[in-house]
Amino acid sequence: MIWKQSRVPVLAFTLSGVLFVLGSVVLLPTKDKQTVTSFIFPKEVPLAEWQFTNSRPLSIKTKNIYKLIAQKHYRYINNNLLLDIEMRYLKDGDVVRFLEDFSFISSSSVVRQQKGVGYYGLGVEKQRAYLSACINPQGGSTFTNEQFRQNLYSQAIKPQRLLSWVLSQEQLQDNRCLWVHLSIPLKNSSPKAAYQVLENAWFSWYRWWKPRFPKS
């Protein structure tokens, strides 16, 4: 009986805490005052079943709204098939808009989800098959802006992150993103076969980068 009487204020307190956090997440701007330290991409990243050939800086300019921190291009080869991977470290996670602004891709993408990885987009443009996704600091990968926001909010209300925010150890919202864009030439291959190649490379790439996400 005593537990039933005390349970009401406990639940009320918990609910008010959750509502407070949700209100803070909604009201706080996504692009907050979070400071991001500089980051240098490694010269070489191992990729299962692929041989590394070279890496170089990316010279493609980006709009200021993305707050680009670092970018790099990697190239791999497997049975004479070249795989190009563009990496960008940004403070945003709308991959669809990235594709339009950076790669001039206009065709619609196929969005898929992989357990243990997250969402990613597949498509074909100018005889090249591509796969794009945003690796997030917490949670799975995302492709659309809606997926990115949903992941951002769901991670913000976790007790551990809320405690760190209350103690001023970190921002409530961490809107950083490692944008990954993989592409291979179609040649005589079908999009379906090309997608499978890209997905296998992406899953391996994601597993390497996820635990190595840059420290804020």
Q: Give the pLDDT means over successive 10-residue stretches in the chain (216 positions).
A: 45 45 45 67 97 91 73 96 96 82 74 96 92 94 91 71 46 83 93 97 98 89
Q: What is the pLDDT of residue 91?
A: 86
Sign of the torsion angle spanned by Cα atoms 186, 205, 45, 71: positive
Q: Is 66 helix (H, G, I), strand (E, B) or coil?
A: helix
Question: Where are the extended beta strands (E) located within 93-174?
Answer: 110-114, 118-125, 128-135
Q: Please give the DSSP secondary-structure letter assigned to residue 108.
A: P
Minimal CA–CA distance to 190: which of 133, 131, 127?
127
